[in-house]
Homo-oligomer: A and B are copies of this chain.
Amino acid sequence: QSLSLLFHRTNFLSSSLQLSVDATGCRFLRALLPSDLAGRSKGGQAQNGSVDVLDLLQGWGSGVGTYDDFNTIDWVREKSKDRDRHREISRKRRQSITALLLSVSDAFSGWLLMLLIGLMSGALAGGIDIAAHWLTDLKEGVCLNGFWFNHEHCCWNSKETTFQERHRCPQWKSWAELTVGVTEGASAYVVNYLMYVIWALLFSFLAVFLVRAFAPYACGSGIPEIKTILSGFIIRGYLGKWTLVIKTITLVLAVASGLSLGKEGPLVHVACCCGNIFCHLFTKYRKNEAKRREVLSAASAVGVSVAFGAPIGGVLFSLEEVSYYFPLKTLWRSFFAALVAAFTLRSINPFGNSRLVLFYVEFHTPWHLLELFPFVLLGIFGGLWGALFIRANIAWCRRRKATRLGRYPVLEVAVVSLATAVLAFPNDYTRMSGSELISELFNDCSLLDSSKLCDYGPLAKGGEPAGNLSEGTVGQAERPAGPGVYTAVWQLAMALLFKMAITVVTFGMKVPSGLFIPSMLAYYHHDWDMFHGWCSPGAHCITPGLYAMLGAAACLGGVTRMTVSLVVIMFELTGGLEYIVPLMAAVMTSKWVADALGREGIYEAHIRLNGYPFLEPKEEFVHKTLATDVMRPRRSDPPLSVVTQDGMTVEELEGLISDTSYSGFPVVVSPESHRLVGFVLRRDLVISIDNARRCQEGIVGVSRVIFTEHTPVEAQGAPPPLNLRAILDLSPLAITDHTPMEITVDIFRKLGLRQCLVTQNGRLLGIITKKDILKHMAQMANRDPDSILFN
């Protein structure tokens, strides 16, 4: 009823005063003006009014209650706003059938949104897969039946039956065949080499050009930024439609160019863009930053779901790695969206195998308990690699920022992709795309397989360990290895070293790039197989594919520090409970080893590198400082800038605003008592005073600004006071100066605060903002670097 009262007043005033003012800026002021009268007439319920008015203001586009770019949102306020909206709908529900239907549709809009995100992301992921596949093949040749066919589709109707022959159908022409007319020999090789490099350069140049020209936010993996956004930061345009369009196109180009990067991170970014764009369809989500972040959490689950074909893993990834505020309702909805996306992708069927990913694998050989030892070694290796990769990559990125390198991003991309293409072409395993490579490495050999890794003599058909032969002791005459195996092992070792080096440089460039760690380290499997001299000869006791997969999981674990979600993703890829224990062993060791060498994952490291205000929810604050050590003002600083509830004029306030740059001011009873009344945000204050000056009768510089419930009667002749209680936050959280920082950090994290006031024996003493806490945490971490090690 307080709302309708205000509306009445507004109408009354606007008709009686007949002011000519702009519609958006001033109407709300007229609503504010009589708020004290309204408050008085409502009696006991007056205190409830403020939130409603805030809602009202926002609805009228006055800007009160919104946020600036690169600012942190106030979770508590956003959630309150949503509950108000919800209450309003519930209240109206009983009044009419339309309102009832509206409330039902409101309740289901979240599900509809999830459905849309799932469909759209699944479709986009399918499109990206198909396009990238086609462009990748374009580097090698073209289909005569139609240039839009990729190699596989081109040869689909060919009569050859073996894998080997099927790839050599007459319709598919390599560039050498088309231009110089030969398929073999040095000239053909040179032409193919050249075309490969030219196409790769073209793709990567196009990608970096598009990013630079249209959507600078489309570069990189996007996960560090999404983590920061989900934690409550505002980066306008990061999830906008331009970013979506450009990121989708450039992701295809970047993957096709053969750069050492993956599509996982960018797919999460793409899904989040979809989520953000669809949010604009529903008022519930458009206007509420907290609700929108729930949707984005679900969208990031969708991204992983389509990247790996693992819906459950995606949800756990979102929960474990990306999300900040993840209520159970979101868990359920994310799961739904991830499923919809996975099934959309499957009905598009981009790989023609009814699977969601190219590298779906099925193992049938059980593993031996003694194999746990090499599994753990793989984990150690993965952890070492992870820690090393993070350090090298961060050092490179820092160098890029500091030196002149950072000024020529296009050139950098061109050089890196030239180097990648030139070095990659001679080696079969680097020439093929990442997904193909994973697929080849993860799978067991079968009889029809044309892969060089399966090039054994007739006695050793399927499932034989390739690695045992690389030992050099070919004494086991029953398993002759063809020359292909030796070549493959040699090439894989080269490929491993090459990919390791090039990925460090690639990640963080100005093109869409995900971490393609899986492909990279999967190579390493053959070396570990050497440890299997004890395996009884001739027995099918080792699955090389399993080792490849474990290596990939361990390395990815070392780099990202994912745990459960990684195991579940791999579990969904392999589809058997059988291999969970090896996975767990490898991933766990990898995480421990990597944690011992450096406590941050790659995403956290990039967040810190870029200086985003992100309060890590996983890391515990272990130092023994108190709120009084962190709060401002410090002992040497000037005293805290406060606003008194009824003692300041408009001019004084404007002076305070221009003299300081704080984003808000505490309101106290009087400067002497320092008893806290509330908190007022700078932005709200500026807008309100500005509007009052323009629209409200009699507001001049010497008008008193009042924050109390009842406006006092001014002396005769004095200008009317300006009551701003409506913009006053009456429930600021305050802690005592003795509160340990560990508890303070916990409160900030769990409640999603932006600032917190500090009191001592009931007197206001200072203020702690999120930035103060981050600064303090960084200080303490530098002072005592290994304090967190055994946490």
> Which residue numbers of A lie inside 8 Å of B, CB to CB?
47-48, 51, 76, 79-80, 83-84, 86-87, 90, 93, 103-104, 106-107, 311-312, 315, 319-320, 328-329, 331-332, 335-336, 339, 342-343, 563-564, 567-568, 571-572, 575-577, 580-581, 584, 588, 617-618, 620, 622-624, 626-628, 669, 673-678, 730-736, 738-740, 742-743, 746-747, 750-751, 759, 761-764, 787, 790-791
Contacts and interface: CB of A to CB of B under 8 A. Distances in A.
Contacts of A675: 761-763
B731 A328 contact: no
Nearest to A336: B584
B83 A742 contact: yes
Contacts of A93: 790
Nearest to A90: B787
Contact of A312 (B312, B617, B732): B312
A113 to B, nearest CB: 15
Given A79-B746, A339-B581, A740-B80, A90 B622 contact: yes
B584 A339 contact: yes
Contact of A738 (B47, B584, B747): B47
Contact of A339 (B312, B575, B580): B580
Nearest to A731: B739
Contacts of A104: 790
A327 to B, nearest CB: 8
Contacts of A743: 76, 79-80, 731
Given A311-B580, A312-B312, A87 B762 contact: no
Contacts of A572: 577
A577 B739 CA distance: 50
A332 B735 contact: no
A761 B83 contact: no
A663 to B, nearest CB: 20
Given A567-B335, A790-B103, A624 B735 contact: no
Nearest to A618: B328
Contacts of A751: 746-747, 750-751
27 contacts: A48-B626, A76-B743, A79-B743, A79-B746, A80-B740, A84-B624, A86-B622, A87-B622, A87-B624, A90-B787, A90-B790, A93-B790, A104-B790, A107-B790, A311-B577, A315-B564, A331-B563, A339-B580, A339-B581, A342-B577, A575-B575, A676-B762, A731-B739, A734-B759, A750-B750, A750-B751, A751-B751
Contacts of A678: 736, 738
Contact of A676 (B335, B627, B746, B761): B761
B764 A564 contact: no
A93 B759 CA distance: 36
Contacts of A763: 675, 762
Contacts of A622: 83, 86-87, 90
B564 A332 contact: yes
Contacts of A750: 750-751
A81 B684 CA distance: 41
A319 B51 CA distance: 34
Contacts of A332: 563-564
A594 to B, nearest CB: 14
A672 B293 CA distance: 46
A76 B745 CA distance: 12
Given A90-B787, A104-B790, A761-B677, A620 B568 contact: no
A80 B742 contact: yes
Interface centre among A84, A580, A742, A790 (most CB of B within 10 A): A790
A677 B738 CA distance: 10
A119 to B, nearest CB: 14
